[in-house]
Structure 1
Amino acid sequence: MRITVTVDGTGYTDEVEPRTLLVHHLREKLGKTGTVVGCDTSNCGACTVHLNGQSVKSCSVLAVQADGGEVTTVEGLARDGQLHPVQQAFRDNHALQCGFCTPGMIMQSIDLLADNPNPDEEAVREGLEGNLCRCTGYQNIVRAVRDAAGHMRPGAGPEAEQVADGERTTTGVGGDA
């Protein structure tokens, strides 16, 4: 089947087998290797991307289901050489160890913050329940998400507009925000 999808602001038209998972299309066809294949059962969340502004586990979505859609991967978050505030907060708060789960954690965190721009610790833990980390005790991840929330609130700085102006629908792709 022929599909057309926008990934990280760039349009692609490709022939795909109907059974091809979005995660495999992103990695193997488009070279978006930041989207990690973890469990292939949608349990770990390492493959989380945004599809039309919503976080999805790309191992549970067929590429044909993304036809006509807009996908944002972890590679599409940085702008003008600056990390997205969530990426920066993960770095600043040492919210990773091996890094395998980090792309999915970051993508889910952005979605969480779009829904709740000021989450408490419990809300962060609940919002990240579908994303597993085998290396950390989650404390630094929670700290990073709460730190990013502070930087992304309206008036917090130039990057705040990514959420304030509609991170939920634009997902920070291209010049949409």
Structure 2
Amino acid sequence: MSNPAQPICIIGSGLAAYTLIREYRKINAEHPITLVTQEAGDFYSKPMLSTAIAGQKSAEQLVTSSATKMAEQFNLVIHTCTTVKQIDPAHQKISVMSNNGQSFDIEYSQLVLALGADQIRVPMNGNASHEVQTVNDLQDYARFRKQLDGKKKVVILGAGLIGCEFANDLA
């Protein structure tokens, strides 16, 4: 049974999560909201990941609002760099672990999974398979940019929008 005094808990910190929060705050400015994310929780435009290379932008330059600012603006509790270990719908709680090893439970009145999409990871063998990168968030982008340093040739797998934009920007 739902306890309305408990916060709404949102797992994820992408566009879907922050859009939900923004819209919910328009109708209810006071109900507690807790956001849990494995990432830093900063707000950025994900489509910029694929065009930032041409502009030589770092991952930090893509952030339009820090997690701290988002928490203040929308009256949130944000647990960054925190992994959800278990969801217990019967008791309306999640068990989490922060990156410093601290485990704790968060009770909720409603739970939202705003996890976004996972990229397809093609199985590969070979002496350079460890260098294959996927770019789906700011951390991936930062790692990709760093790995590009000093490279003269890059292979892009995938002819979707992001793959095509990377290929164009790196040409």
Scaled by the length of structure 1, the TM-score of the pair is 0.26
Larger relative contact order (Cα-Cα within 8 Å, sequence gap ≥ 6): 2
Rg: which structure is higher? 2
- The answer to which structure has the higher strand fraction is 2
Scaled by the length of structure 2, the TM-score of the pair is 0.26
